[in-house]
Structure 1
Amino acid sequence: MPRSASSTLSIDDRLVIAAALDRILYDDPDRFAAEDARTVRRLVPYARSSWLRLGFRAETKGPSMRGEGAGGVGDVHMDGDKKVVEGGVGESTVWRCGQYKITNHGGDLEIWQVMSDEFAEHPKGARLEFDPRGEPERLTFFQPRDIELRIPFTSFAIGVRLGGWQDWKQADGHTPG
Structure 2
Amino acid sequence: MRNAAAPGLRIDDRMIVAAALDRILYDDPDRFAAEDARTVRRLIPPSRSGWLRLGFRAETQGPSMKGEAAGIGDVRMEGDKKVVEGSLGEATNWRCGQYKVANHGGDLEIWQVMSDEYAPEPKGARLEFDARGEPERLTFFQPRDIELRIPFTSLAVGVRLGGWAAWKQVAQRM
Q: Quickly name the TM-score band, shorter chain normalised.
A: over 0.9
Question: Where does residue 112 of structure 2 map in the other structure?
Answer: 113
Tell me, in whole angstroms, the C-alpha distance in 1 between the residues paired with 2:24 and 2:78. 43
By how many angstroms is 1:8 displaced?
2.0
Tell me, in whole angstroms, the C-alpha distance in 1 between the residues paired with 2:75 and 2:17. 51
Q: Equivalences for 1:49-128 in 2 at 5 Å?
A: 49-68=49-68, 70-71=69-70, 73-128=72-127
Tell me, in whole angstroms, the C-alpha distance in 2 between the residues paired with 1:81 and 1:6. 37
Question: Where does residue 41 of structure 2 map in the other structure?
Answer: 41
Question: Where does residue 12 of structure 1 map in the other structure?
Answer: 12
Question: Where does residue 151 of structure 2 map in the other structure?
Answer: 152
Question: Where does residue 134 of structure 1 map in the other structure?
Answer: 133
Over the residues paired in the alignment, what is the CA RMSD in angstroms?
1.6
One-letter amino acid of the structure 2 residue matched with residue 127 of structure 1: R
Tell me, in whole angstroms, the C-alpha distance in 2 between the residues paired with 1:15 and 1:73. 57
By how many angstroms is 1:79 displaced?
1.3
For structure 2, the 5+ residue unaligned runs are none
Deviations 1:115-146 (A, max 9, x none): 11001110000000001000000000000000
Number of aligned residue pairs: give it: 169
- Secondary structure of the 1:40 match is helix
Tell me, in whole angstroms, the C-alpha distance in 1 between the residues paired with 2:93 and 2:64. 38
- Secondary structure of the 2:29 match is coil
Identity of aligned residues (%): 79
By how many angstroms is 1:77 displaced?
2.2
Conservation of the 8 A alpha-carbon contact between 1:141 and 1:166: yes
Q: 1:115 to 1:6 in 2, by over 3 A?
A: closer
Question: Where does residue 172 of structure 1 map in the other structure?
Answer: 171
One-letter amino acid of the structure 2 residue matched with residue 13 of structure 1: D
By how many angstroms is 1:6 displaced?
9.4
By how many angstroms is 1:46 displaced?
0.2
Query: Structure 1 length as normaliser, TM-score?
Result: 0.91
Deviations 1:43-101 (A, max 9, x none): 00000111100000000000112232x24554432211000000011011010111100
Conservation of the 8 A alpha-carbon contact between 1:7 and 1:45: no
Which stretches of structure 1, 4 residues or more, deviate above 6 A after TM superposition? none
For structure 1, the 5+ residue unaligned runs are none
Query: Structure 2 length as normaliser, TM-score?
Result: 0.92
Tell me, in whole angstroms, the C-alpha distance in 2 between the residues paired with 1:126 and 1:109. 8
One-letter amino acid of the structure 2 residue matched with residue 84 of structure 1: V
